[in-house]
Amino acid sequence: MEPRKRMERLAGELLRHQHLYYVLARPEISDAEYDRKLDELLRLEREYPQYASPNSPSRRVGSDLDGSFPERPHAVPVLSLDKLYDAGEAAQWLRKTAGACPGGAAFTVEEKIDGAAIVLYYEGGELSRALTRGDGVTGNDVSDNVRTIRQVPLRVGEPGSLAVRGEVYITRADFARFNAALPEKYANPRNLAAGSLRNLKSALTARVPLNFFAYEGFFAGESGGDHLEVLARLRGLGFRVNPRLGFFCDGNGRRRRALALFPEAHAAPLAGVEEYLGRRAAARAGVPYDIDGLVIKLTDLAMRRELGFTAHHPRWAMAYKFEAPQARTELLDVLVQVGRNGRVTPVAVLKPVALAGSTVTRATLHNQDYVDMLELGIGDQVSISKRGDVIPAVEEVLEKSAKRPSVYKLPELCPFCGSTLVREGGHHFCRNLDCPERRRRALGYFCAKDQMDIETLGEKTLAFLYEKGWVRTIPDIYSFDYSRLEGEEGFKERKIARIREGVDKSRERPFVRVLASLGFENLAAAVAAALIGHGFADIDTIIAAAARDDWQAFAAVDGVGETTARQLVAHFRDPQNLDLIARLRAAGLKFRAEGDAADRLDDSFAGQVWVITGSFARFEPRERAAEEIRRRGGRVAESVSSRTTHLLAGAHPGSKLAKAEKLKATVVSEDEFVALLGKRS
């Protein structure tokens, strides 16, 4: 048989046997026979690498080469779920949601496994990529590692685009065994599962006994139907679907149909849900892996769409968490934080205490009302919890301090600028726009990993630049001449070069990040992504809508309510904000959404680092030349360094030309540049 055909046949057989063994636990051939086939395939792939598929079953063994985890956008944003901690409240939520569905509603109750969430994308029946949840808008591409998980199908009998969400997890027994052999131990099964997805060498991931359950599927071009049918279909395609499933609805016939799809399910009327939640919570230790709650989901997909989302959560699902982890400690002090929007937050300084796998030393106290409600004073013994996500909160005072039985009060003046704090609604605010703390926070927020990701401008560096008066506003980040740092303590040449590089690189951040980084209230990544997805694909469209006072246009976006819509109008009419946008635009930031490849022409400038100097006849402003370079895969830097490969020199080039010549960078005139642009790779 010709090698290519033989390889295809072997790959198909091996994938089928992997599915029989790892998913269905019904092997048809012996391990030795399996190994023999795999060895043959590996041999052929070495001999004919041109025929090896990225989804070959040989990928299951991973690679010893270092991988990387580039950020990629999710096709459908992955929102976190709203959480409740009481079975009664969860049952009440279900009744309320059912009440909003004319014609009756059905719900599934599924285990919330404490593992690592992952989204698998299939194209033409092949696993094309696997992303971590990330921030929900973009995730890290961990495809090579995920391909080693035997329970993840590499090929499926579904020709259209398919996205599958699920959980990668490890059983407690496997964790104990595997962790014991590791030189550096993981704290819990979840950390091991999540850590394994981020192994640089996929061969290491291949050794971890990881499991996978699929829990949501999105078939391209289909929006109606029923969640239970989707799960059954995923199962038919070879995915493992968790059989510990509850199904609740008031129609007998519907329950019978559900049981026909999932005979293992527990099916009962809506009124039975509270009892079921309580029973499952009590019995969770009997499940072989960690679960920290149950997820209640409406099954009707059209109804889901109708209910929609808040900015943070879908309205059609709820997580019932078994318990909020708690610990007892002492309140040592209260810090006053002032945020970039001026909001004052008292923060509890706690005697360090272990809670849910980490050491807690700080907890939010929200505002004065919260402190008053707790009757909280310094020196008190308190209980703290991690409700929902990761931010710890002070829950109650267990014992008042004997020495100072008082209740803490916020200061009257901003501790950073001395201006009088103003109370608005439940919160206090520093209203001074020039408050150094507010400015510092805005800079920190802008540079943060989730925003513009200028990691070389960390908190310390920003504080230093601020102190010196060099970087006080966001546009200063792009206009400051970082060579002024030369000779300053702690700023070696290499560090300065890295800062420049970080700043340059941030110009490539997509519009959605730029928009969220501006720091406007209620315009974080989720809303920014929703706006862009709805057709507000560039800043001018947004500004134009705001100028027309057209808040309704914003309110028509999924996840944007009237309050946020009106705020958006105010943000994008504010002259100070418009000035900020104009200056960042001039600095070369992206203010227009681009498809991954839509704006990218080719890779003819890939690997090149350009510096632009002088003035040009055809590229005014100069940013237009920079854009052409980036569209061809090149990078543009502010100043000439040893990394510079090309200098685009216009009229009156200045000192950069001499420096570039000294460093042997290629000097390109405007005419030569135009000729280069005409060439396609």
Judged by the rule CB under 5 A, the positions of this chain that interact with Zn ion are 414, 416-417, 430, 432, 435
Query: Which of 42, 41, 63 minimizes the C-alpha distance to 201?
Result: 63
Cβ closest to Zn ion, residue 131 vs residue 435: 435
Picking from 444, 450, 494, 491, the residue whose alpha carbon sits closest to that of residue 472 is: 444
Cβ 324 vs Cβ 386: under 8 Å: yes
Residue pair 539/562 in contact by the 8 Å Cβ criterion = no
**Closer to Zn ion by Cβ: residue 273 or 435:** 435
Active-site pick, 83, 96, 112, 321: 112
- Give least dist CB 341 to Zn ion, A: 12
Residue 303: helix, strand or coil by DSSP? helix
C-alpha angle 202-203-204 in degrees, rounded to nearest 5: 85
Name the one residue in this structure whose structure tokens are 């090579």.
Answer: 144
* 56 token code pair: 């070959």
Closest to Zn ion by CB, 422 or 617: 422
d(CA 369, CA 367): 5
- In this complex, which beta carbon is closest to Zn ion, that of residue 435 or of residue 454? 435
Question: How far apart, in whole angstroms, are the C-alpha atoms of residue 272 and residue 91?
Answer: 9
Nearest approach, Cβ of 419 to Zn ion (angstroms)?
5
Nearer to Zn ion, 170 or 414 (CB): 414
The nearest distance, CB 412 to Zn ion, in angstroms, is 12
Measured from the CB atom, the residue of 272 and 436 that comes closer to Zn ion is 436
Q: How far is the CB of 163 from Zn ion (least distance, A)?
A: 45
CA distance 646 to 103: 67
Q: What is the DSSP string of 386-450?
A: --SSS--EEEEEEE--SS--------SB-TTT-PBPEEETTEEE---TT-HHHHHHHHHHHHSTT
CB of 335 to Zn ion, least distance (A): 14
Q: Which is nearer to Zn ion, 188 or 419 (CB)?
A: 419
Please name the helix (run of DSSP H) or strand (run of DSSP E) that holds residue 321, with its range, or none.
strand 317-321
Helix (H) or strand (E) holding 247: strand 245-249
d(CA 296, CA 283) in angstroms, rounded, equals: 17
Kindly tell me which of 80 and 419 has the beta carbon lying closer to Zn ion.
Answer: 419
Task: Decide if 112 is catalytic.
Answer: yes
Q: Is residue 522 within 8 Å of residue 571, measured between CB atoms?
A: no
Q: How many CA atoms lie within 13 A of 34 on its CB side?
A: 16
* Shortest distance, position 225 Cβ to Zn ion, whole Å: 53
φ, ψ for residue 288 (rounded to 5)? -70, -5
What is the smallest separation between the CB atom of 418 and Zn ion, expressed in angstroms? 7
Angle between helical axes of 31-47 and 3-18 (0-180°, round to 10): 140
Closest CB 416 distance from Zn ion, rounded Å: 5
Active-site residue set = 112
